Amino acid sequence: MDNKFCCAIIPTYNNDSTLEKVATDVAQHVPHVIVVNDGSTDKTGLILDNLQTHFKSQPICFEVVNLLNNKGKGAALEKGFERAASAGFRYAITIDADGQHFAEEIPLFLEAAGKYPDSLIVGARNMKGDGVPGKSSFGNSFSNFWYRIETGLQLPDTQSGFRLYPLEYLKKARFFTGKFEFEIETLTRAAWQGWHIRSVPIQVYYAPEARRVSHFRPVRDFLRISLLNSVLVIIALLWIRPRNAIRRFRWQKTKRFFQLQIVSKKNSSLHLAFSAGFGIFMGITPIWGYQLLLGVTLAHFMKLNKAVVFIMANISIPPMIPIILYTSFLMGGLIVKNPTNISFDAISFEFVKNNFYQYLVGSIALAITAGFLVTMLVWVLVALRRKNLLKNKKKFMT
């Protein structure tokens, strides 16, 4: 394996009972280990000094990054990622210092990275196994549910700290959480950015409760995770899902859509033309925020082509709004006999508010005019297109 292929990052906070074994085991599988000491107050510092001395005589680069104060797991991981990226590594494996994971499973991640380049690999624990605390199993199921809502993807374990990250993704990412919820945010935003996310099954060990070290604060951290999921769901619904739908609507699909919805003989030319004209009419009609909802609803009851109505009603997208407002105001001035001179740059919602009657009359007139013109234009174009297709079909058959 290339020495710059992958390193390991171990964030630790007061894990002096397990840290030495975890670090030593990890060093057997990767050539470069970065331990981020997140402001520990126990014997962690002494253990790390001893480990550095130990590894000086071995072909292992053992590096320690010390944070003066406890910042949280997310902040510790980010420091580790920064160091790994500056050292030129392509991937970084993260593993918790509490002994929950088994370092001998690191080759599973390296194999998956070779098979699925530039993927984020998550170790999937069996959370239904013996010895798994009920609250941990519930928390993971809870996290998995919200992850599916936020991304549309299903993962068996979204809270595992045993992962392999492509550092190229992390170089471009900016995160707003710094504690336990950081790992949920990284998974969600990686999916939003189109990175492939895969899972590999791993073992998990939970020490007896008397010896278990956990820094998870049930009430405070659960509230933080819930708040994060609420924010991510809102972003997903208002931005990510619509953006992805637009990205998927590429030329080939556009061409196929028009073949099925417009060129095909499912609807008459006049029916399609009226659907297009009605969509334009609804898109310009001054009921901002409700054009699409009302237009598609009315199209259903009028038995129009709802897909065509929906697409044409999107004429009121932001770049077109100033043009629609300006033209509406000019037409309204002609109708109410108030031909006030106004420059295009002066058009704003505030201006429209102060001259609302003129705008209202003009926008309705513009909606009717544009709807009629589009109806006529689409009628002619669809009729000609179908005529040419029929002519070519007959020519082919002869």
Q: Model confidence over 139-155: pLDDT tens digits?
A: 788 889 999 999 989 99
Would you call 28 exposed, middle or buried from its count of C-beta atoms within 10 A (0-12, 13-18, 19+)?
A: exposed
**Are 360 and 232 in the same domain?**
no
Domain boundary among 208, 243, 278: 243
- pTM for this one? 0.63
How many domains is the chain partitioned into structurally? 2
Domain that holds residue 61: 6-243
**Are 294 and 222 in the same domain?**
no
The tokens describing 178, both together, are: 């710094």
| pLDDT confidence band for 290 (50 / 70 / 90) | confident
Would you call 95 exposed, middle or buried from its count of C-beta atoms within 10 A (0-12, 13-18, 19+)?
A: buried
Answer yes or no: is 1 within a domain: no
- Does residue 256 register a pLDDT over 70? no
Whole-number Å distance between alpha carbons of 102 and 343? 70
The tokens describing 9, both together, are: 């990052």
Answer yes or no: is 191 within a domain: yes
Residue 142, domain CATH = 3.90.550.10
Answer yes or no: is 214 within a domain: yes
Answer yes or no: is 280 within a domain: yes
- Does residue 89 register a pLDDT over 90? yes
Answer yes or no: is 235 within a domain: yes
Domain boundary among 243, 264, 292: 243
Residue type, 88: G
Distances (CA, A) of 210 to 129, 177, 206, 207, 219: 19, 30, 11, 8, 21
Give per-residue pLDDT as tens, 104-146: 999 999 999 999 999 999 999 988 776 677 677 777 888 899 9
Whole-number Å distance between alpha carbons of 96 and 85? 20
Answer yes or no: is 379 within a domain: yes
Answer yes or no: is 87 within a domain: yes
CB neighbourhood size of 152 (10 A): 12
Domain boundary among 227, 243, 259: 243
User: What is the average per-residue pLDDT within 19-36?
Assistant: 96
Answer yes or no: are the C-beta atoms of 176 and 185 closer than 8 Å. Answer: yes
Query: What phi and psi values does residue 200 have, to the nearest 5 degrees?
Result: -125, 135
Whole-number Å distance between alpha carbons of 189 and 198? 14
| pLDDT confidence band for 25 (50 / 70 / 90) | very high
Least reliable range by pLDDT among 5-14, 200-209, 237-246? 237-246
**Are 26 and 99 in the same domain?**
yes
**Are 184 and 68 in the same domain?**
yes
- Does residue 385 register a pLDDT over 80? no
Percent of the chain at pLDDT > 90 equals: 42
Answer yes or no: is 33 within a domain: yes
Compare 229 and 110 and report the one with higher pLDDT.
110
**Are 228 and 281 in the same domain?**
no
